[in-house]
Structure 1
Amino acid sequence: MYAIVDIETTGGKFNEEGITEIAIYKFDGHNVVDQFISLVNPEKEIQEFVVKLTGINNKMLRNAPKFHEVAKRIIEITEGCVLIAHNASFDYRILRTEYNRLGYEFTRDNLCTVQLSKKLIPDEASYSLGKLCRSLGIPVTDRHRASGDAMATVQLFRLLLDKDHNKKILKRTIQFTDNRNHKLKINGIIENLPEKEGVFYVHNENGNIIFIGRGKNIRLEVTKLFLKDNKRAEKVKNKVDIVTYQETGNQLFTRLKYYLELDNIKPKYNLIRKRKITHLNFNHDHFLIIEKGRVPEESFIILIERNEVIGYAFTNLSYQRNQLEILKRLVTKIENKPLAKTIIKNFLLNNSVDKIVRYELENNL
């Protein structure tokens, strides 16, 4: 069952708006089975531009019921329904704000017909209610009045239901109050991650990296992160939108990439401890560290010159490893050379690598 809603407000500062008119049509997927339409006295002045847009003025609302007088009816007609509106985040926020003022928590699963339209009717020039209805041939009466806009949304939603044959898109678009959308998103994120060694990046909805992790099994490490029971992990889990990753193929590059990225990006939810930088030199001025790559036929190489870390590269051709000038064109340069040197030096003190090849600058390898 669905409760299709449209609300007109006074305008004004965010979360300080008041409701001037509300219309709710209870819809079973085929027919409207109940309705509630009422002007509402907001007990505050209406912004002048809103009066011009809707035609509703304070004089009209003088004898209208106040919100607390219609609150019970709104709860009754929306009980057990998915709340639907065109730009649902606005209407749902307004209702929750009004109920908060009464000391009541109003929660409903909700769905936005703007988002649903974009998925089921792509490439429209505009998804505003008026222009979309005009494009689809849906009649609209009393535009910018709650009853007219709500009825137009009923007609639009009926059309969208017909287009979504198996209702899969509808289910994915509903914002559930039990946060099941986000849980399904997290499950989908984890399923698409490889069971390979590497570094992973947790992005929020704006694309910003908020956490960086690493491990021998990326999927396992992300799963463990989302199962942790602490405030920091909860924040990462609640804000995640996507997880990207880079396969590394070996522990040395995993460690190097991880610490260089932490230093460069400084993600909000990583605990970053300042590392003590080593000033000790390597045992040789010019050499290559060769480790296994991401696939059997590939090698990973770190280039050291004049006792500084120049950069790294993946290569699957043996002659590239033996031609210094070719290799230099392949490497990804490292900016923070002191940090890279510290990480590599510490790794070599406690771990072995596949091969170390020394060379002189004036000669090819």
Structure 2
Amino acid sequence: MSKTNSGNFFEDFSLGQVIAHATPRTVTAGDVALYTALFGPRFAVQSSDAFAQAVNYPQSPVDDMLVFHIVFGKTVPDISLNAVANLGYAGGRFLAPVYPGDTLSAVSEIIGLKENSNSKTGVVYVRSTGYKADGTEVLDYVRWVMVKKRNAANPAPAPVVPELPGELAPQVLGNAVPMLDLDGWNNDLAGSAHRWDDYAIGEKIDHADGMTVEEAEHQMATRLYQNTAKVHFNQHTEGEGRFGRRLVYGGHVISLARALSFNGLGAAFHVAGINGGRHVAPLFAGDTVYAWSQVLDKQPLEGRPDVGLLRIRTIATKNRSCADFPDQDSAGAYDPDVILDLDIWVALPK
């Protein structure tokens, strides 16, 4: 047997297969600092121990998307080392706060398989769960990813496409937020005077700012998560691929859009759930990312007088301002500059 890992190809997966991923990762303050340097998130609860403690956290929790990417990165060597592209997400729940010093690991289950018509690739549906070392679940989500076949002539399994929720019920969310002391929430320090009560269903928000992605930045970010997908790093091979260059990791776009959303959603300190997400088009180094959001729904949390949830759809674009809210046309086709369509629940103080 070879001692090197060439990754799994589509035909290596089987329905119901469970994979415990290497390697556990202890999250440190250094990881948090590097994540901040790469994306610039400014949410006060994750930025200041003093602010977090004033509202009843023991200290600043790790940014939700950093937790997501670390858990995601654990899965890559087994699920998507030979991926063509990560396609989408559904049913993501943030179940417990993570703090520097916590150790995260991940387990995945294959819940669907479908070969593509070209017989060269197939789509793998996988549910991944992230755990702390004591067994506490911190995150679970479903994603689907297009993976190369080892040999196009190999027979495909019977197609199974799982039914996925269009949205998460608010009642299953919010457990990662302790009961907040709203007397300790300072609007000035939070950077926004607008709380949960101030948003209306249907409201659109242009996040205005843009961030240009540099080649070194997106590779450093992806390595931060120990994500080994070849398409993000190896110009020697990707130069011969369909794009002729490395792809920016789709999660990089999600983190940029989340950081940009502070301008307009500054009090939305916690991502409670991921209803769905789609990488509409690829992003490359040198492109500039913009974003806008729309409030799709607004729900209180039962028994929680401190926080409420907004269902937010965030659209990210490349090299195009979002002042006119670029979206889909009447036929469902996206504006050509749209790269991400993300549907999430976020928590805000009341």
What is the TM-score with the length of structure 1 in the denominator?
0.22
User: Which structure has greater helix proportion?
Assistant: 1
User: Which structure has greater strand proportion?
Assistant: 2
* Greater relative contact order structure (CA < 8 Å, 6+ sep): 2
Greater radius of gyration (CA): 1
